[in-house]
Amino acid sequence: DADVTQTPRNRITKTGKRIMLECSQTKGHDRMYWYRQDPGLGLRLIYYSFDVKDINKGEISDGYSVSRQAQAKFSLSLESAIPNQTALYFCATSDPSAAANYGYTFGSGTRLTVV
Amino acid sequence: QKEVEQNSGPLSVPEGAIASLNCTYSDRGSQSFFWYRQYSGKSPELIMSIYSNGDKEDGRFTAQLNKASQYVSLLIRDSQPSDSATYLCAVNVGAAGNKLTFGGGTRVLVKP
């Protein structure tokens, strides 16, 4: 099994619908992140969490919310999806004791299309 | 000014040549720097990390860091068609650390 698992892998949804993207990890890492990727824009941080009780907004949090249900689970919700939220979404984890050298572990991504 | 900047490319190099990628960053407090490779539709994979000025070599890859000039570069020697991908520069910014800011990526095309 993958260390960081994202579900679903692909999703098409309609404008105005609520949708949840899920991320679970077996790395035992405290720190988890949600990024979105658009062509030419690299990865932009949506939300991050350094432990279960710690949730922080990233640079593009508007229109999104998150829930850290457990150390291993971090979900991203789009309350009312809009077409410009069409993107590739990545979940990532890191170990603070090793992060300086090892960066992140990424999930396989969720390709979301809002029509 | 974006926090982390890269030339979007594409950078076209013949097979066997050296590919040279550059990245500049704005936060002088940045401590750790990473290069990720990303194939189309796939997740980024870490290929190099560097946190001290100078060069760091790993196989065909060399990362170079110059904190005074605020740039980090990646050299790919003996480029292979399998190196064709987008390369993302990432910088660990902020006092709390461990929150990566990514550049937009440089697309590399290695032609046989």
Asked if the C-beta of A42 comes within 8 angstroms of chain B's C-beta atoms, the answer is yes
Q: Which segment of A22-36, B7-21, B76-90, B92-106 scores lowest on mean pLDDT? A: B92-106
Of the two residues B97 and A34, the one the predictor is more confident about is: A34
Closest approach of B10 to chain A, Cα-based (Å): 11
**Residue in B with minimal Cα distance to A94:** B98
Q: Convert the pLDDT of each residue in B38-67 to its tens digit.
A: 999 899 999 999 988 999 999 999 999 999
Angle B89-B94-B98 from CA coordinates, rounded to 5°: 65
| Cβ atoms A23, A35 nearer than 8 A | no
Q: Convert the pLDDT of each residue in A22-69 to its tens digit.
A: 999 998 888 999 999 998 778 999 999 999 999 999 999 999 999 999
Among B4, B43, B50, B88, which would you mutate to test the A interface (most chain A Cβ atoms within 10 Å of its Cβ)? B43
- The 10 Å Cβ neighbour count of residue A80 is 11
Closest approach of B112 to chain A, Cα-based (Å): 25
At residue B74 the predicted structure's pLDDT band, cuts being 50, 70 and 90, is very high
Among A95, A106, A111, A113, which would you mutate to test the B interface (most chain B Cβ atoms within 10 Å of its Cβ)? A106
Tell me the three state secondary structure of residue B66.
Answer: strand
Question: Looking at the DSSP assignment, which residues form a beta bridge with residue B91?
Answer: B33, B101
DSSP string, A13-80: E-TT--EEEEEEESS--SEEEEEEE-TTS-EEEEEEEEETTEEEE-TT-TTEEEEEEETTEEEEEESS
Among B25, B46, B99, B101, which would you mutate to test the A interface (most chain A Cβ atoms within 10 Å of its Cβ)? B99
Q: Convert the pLDDT of each residue in A87-97 to its tens digit.
A: 999 999 988 77
Closest approach of A80 to chain B, Cα-based (Å): 25
Closest CA to A35 of A48, A49, A20: A48
pLDDT at residue number B42: 93
Looking at the partner chain, which of A33, A100, A104 has a beta carbon nearest the beta carbon of B31? Answer: A100
pLDDT at residue number A39: 80
